[in-house]
Amino acid sequence: MKTPRIHLLAALAATFMLAVPAAHASEKADVSAGRALVQQHACFTCHAIEGTKVGPSFTDLATKFAAMGEDKAEKALDQDVHAGVQGTPMPPNPTLSQAELDQIADWILSLKK
């Protein structure tokens, strides 16, 4: 019964080697999910990636929020996107789930230069 054991070890080693790049890939997938949500919810009507439109660019927002530190930045972005900014054209987005808000925040923060 030596052979199956070796196969098992080989399988474990292969899994381990694949696990590292896979973790990176899923992080990337989350960021692109955030971008897809921004597209879907028409945020690009008022925000460009670069350059001010009706609202500030996502790159500028990334720089501004990232200055708070990652945890605070994500919470503040979640809050602003969820509730909007009263007295400005920035609308509330009450239908976005917490997970979706996090994905959007992660995508915005990924644009920081």
Instruction: Give the footprint of ligand HEC on this chain (CB under 6 A).
Output: 38, 41-43, 45-47, 54-56, 61, 77, 80-81, 85, 88-91, 93, 104
Min dist. Cβ of residue 7 to ligand HEC (A) = 49
**Which residue intervals of 67-97 are DSSP H helices?**
70-83
Which residue's CB is nearer to ligand HEC, number 59 or number 93?
93
Residue among 36 and 56 whose Cβ is closer to ligand HEC: 56
Matching residue, tokens 């976005």: 96
